[in-house]
Every structure is written in structure tokens, then in C-alpha cells.
Amino acid sequence: MTDTTSNKMWGGRFAAGPDAIMEAINASIGFDKRMAAQDIKGSRAHAAMLAATGILTDSDAEAIREGLLTILSEIEEGRFEFSAALEDIHMNVEARLKELIGEPAGRLHTGRSRNDQVATDFKLWVRDQLDAADEGLQALIRALLSQAEAGADWVMPGFTHLQTAQPVTWGHHMMAYVEMFGRDLSRFRDARKRMNECPLGAAALAGTSFPIDREMTAEALGFDRPAANSLDAVSDRDFALEFMSAASICAMHLSRFAEELVIWSSAQFRFVALSDRFSTGSSIMPQKKNPDAAELIRAKVGRIFGANTALMMVMKGLPLAYSKDMQEDKEQVFDAADNLMLALAAMTGMVGDMTAERENLAAAAGSGFSTATDLADWLVRVPNLPFRDAHHVTGTLVAMAEKQGCDLPDLTLKQMQSVHGEITKDVFDVLGVDNSVNSRMSYGGTAPAQVRAQVTRWKEILK
């Protein structure tokens, strides 16, 4: 494709054309060429509609269709020459179409503007990313479900403030992330449903006098309906902001899980073993196995948050309808989408490959007075102490065990009765970690039966 700089869309109004600096700041082809497939898809739908409404002859529409398919092949095969002088993907495609089919190419733009064209292309691209995120999250959730099902009754410590709190099960902990990523899945799906209105046909900002059929193009492009207001249609970027907001929350969840994997895989915890596929060695310390994939996932959240904030700042002060500021909407979204998908894929791989160290989890579950709450609950149920009194008695027994360097189950009955005389030997039935987790049968609790019920529920959801 030749660089037809003399045939710019600026026309007669700008005889000299922009200089090199203006060309550099104005051009977006360096990044918006990623929307080539969406641009061609939108143009094909527009041309078919123009023919159906009699605005375009069938022969011109067929020439346009064939030309666009040729261009798509050239782009997919890496043979297309992109030109910064032609500013963006839309003008690059249109210029090449003119080279291929001549005069009919100039009729393609009838009844539309670059404003509704770019809004349509961008919506189609973001919609594809929402679908990709949907698939990525489903894969991650399935990997977590496999871990949860395998370890539904494996005890481990539950933490608050990163301090041992109460025993939970490995399956319960995995299912917590299933719920988090499940909400992410619903956010992406909700955003997709809300954004699925077609801007094409809004033209520059006021619609068009040509008798176009916006319902036809909306249906052809998989939208639910045409956007109802032409001003809003060309100036709306809520769909991109919603995608990035959902991506930011999802990235935050990925980062939280990554942080736990970094901690759990350390020599101090040894709760999990990460596979060699998602770890690296040290250049100087041969004993090291670094959780680099988890650390990089943890860092990705900064880029995604930053992209979200950047686009919010671009949009916050723009009057209706279109302003050139909105050309700055895509690089942030592209970067956020790339990093989200990479993080999802890496986390899915790590979860699928990692091995929970069951014995280490169990040993840790029984330390740190993790069954203190079970003791307090027993004092409420059996001797019928008010909970505040039971809390005080339990705290005294914890202090006693701590002073003696042992855990609660290691105290003798006589020692316990020295604090409260109504304690019986039955108390030892609740002090074991397995007894503790099995007793948490409330809906959503950590009992293995509850965990398995939630695994079953999620498998049904994902069918």
C-alpha cells in the first residue's frame, strides 16, 4: 500500500497539512490497529445495510465486501503496510480499499462518521475482551474447585490480621476465592449486557439524513439494540470504564491470592509447593525457588488500577459530544486487558499445578490456640456461661497454656478446673481441629460437608 500523503482526509481546508509534530501527536495507528478486525466487521455491516436500504448499489456493496475481506487477509498475514500519515486504522483501511476497488470505496462512509465508527469499533473490541475475561475466570474457578474438592476436609489455620484465628479447611479457603472470582465473573457479564448497544449510525453527533436501518446493523454486529441518543452514542466511554473497573477489582482479587501464595510457599510456612513451571531460581543462591509468577501477578494490579484512573481523568471534563482527548482512551484499555488476561492465565496455571502440603497445614492448624473459640462456645453451651464470661475464662486458660509453653488441648482437666470448676472432660472433644471444623455446619461454614455442597453448587452454575 502506498503512503498517499497527498490524499489526506483534511481536504482543501488545510492546504499545507500538519507538520511532523502534529502528525506524531495526532496519529493513533500505532495502537488502534489492534481494532482492525472490528473496524472491518463494522464496515461490512454498514455496507450491507446501505445496499439493503438502496443507498448503495449491490455491485458497489459487493466490491466493498470483497475489498474489505482482502484487507483483513493482508492484516492477518502481516502484509498490510500501516501508515502514520493516515492517522488511524479507519483511514488506513479506507485508503487501501480505494487502492483495491477505486470509486466505490468512497461510498462506504455514507451515513456515518469516524465518531460513530470508532465508538463501534472500540465497543466491539471491549466486548471481545469481556468475553475473554469471562472464559479466563471460568477456567480459574474450575481450577479452584478442583483444589477445594480434593482438600474439602484438610485442616489448616484460618487467619485474621495474619494471626491464627480458627481452624478452617483447605477447601473452604479455596472456595473463598471462588466466590470472589465469581463476583468478578458477574461484573463482567453485567457490564457486557449494559454496553451492548450499537453506536453505528449516530454519525458525527446528530444522526444522519440518509434512510439508514440502525436495527439491521445492530443485529448484524451482535448488539441488542441501537444506542438511543446520537450525542451519547459517540461520546460514551462508560463501557470501557466499566470494563476497567471490573478488571481492577478482579486484579485486586488476583493480587490478594498471589500474596497468599508468596507467603504460603515460603520456607517459614510451607503450606504449598508451586510447580517449577511457575517458579524461578536464584542466580546466586542454589536453594531458592522464587514464586515469581505470583509476584508479577501481584504487581499487575498497579498497571490496571493506573489505566482505570488514567481513562477516568481523560473523560472527566469533556463536554458533549466528541473531543480528540478521547483518542487517549485505547492504550490504557489495551494495556489493562493484556495484563488482566496474562494474570488470569498465570494464576490458573499456578492453581492447577500447586500442591497443598497437607501435613504442614494440619500442624499449623493445631497451633496458636486456634480452638480457643471452640472452648468459649462449649462454655456457653454446656455450663451455660454468658459469652462474655466464657470469653474471660478462655482467655485465662490461653494465658496459662502460653505460660507453660503448650497448647489448649495439652492442659490437664485439673488445670482447667482451677479456672472454672464446671469444666468436664467432655471439653476435650471440641479442642481438636478436626472436631472444630466439622462442627461449623452453618451455611457457608468450613465444615467439609458445607464445602462439598458449595463445590457442587458452583459446578452447576458453570454448566
Task: Please list the active-site residues.
Answer: 161, 282
CA gap 174, 169 in Å, rounded: 9
Give the cell for residue 413. Answer: 482437666
For residues 267-296, one letter each, b for 16 or more C-beta atoms within 10 angstroms of the residue's C-beta and e for the rest, the string is eebebbbbeeebbeeeeeeeeeeebebbee
CA gap 61, 114 in Å, rounded: 19
Query: How do the residues of the chain divide into helix, strand and coil, expressed in percent and rounded to 5?
Result: 65, 5, 30
3-state SS class at 8: coil
Cβ distance 174 to 147 under 8 Å? yes
Cβ distance 455 to 175 under 8 Å? yes
Query: Would you give the end-to-end CA distance of the chain in angstroms?
Result: 48
CA distances from 36 to 116, 201, 236, 243 (A): 15, 19, 21, 20
For residues 154-172, one letter each, b for 16 or more C-beta atoms within 10 angstroms of the residue's C-beta and e for the rest, the string is bbbbbbeeeebbbbbbbbb
Cβ distance 261 to 255 under 8 Å? no
Instruction: Report angle CA 127, 81, 328 to the nearest 5 degrees.
Output: 45
430: alpha, beta or left? (left if phi > 0; alpha if psi -120 to 50):
alpha
Q: What is the DSSP letter of 325?
A: G
Cβ distance 205 to 321 under 8 Å? yes
Select from 32, 351, 336 the least CA-distant residue to 188: 336
Cβ distance 408 to 397 under 8 Å? yes
Cβ distance 101 to 56 under 8 Å? no
Cβ distance 145 to 259 under 8 Å? no
- Residue partners of 214: CB distance under 8 A and separation at least 6: 198, 200, 201, 226
HSE, side-chain direction, 13 A CA sphere, residue 376: 18
The values of phi and psi at residue 280, to 5°, are -135, 165
Cell 489495551 found at: 334
Select from 393, 401, 364 the least CA-distant residue to 377: 393
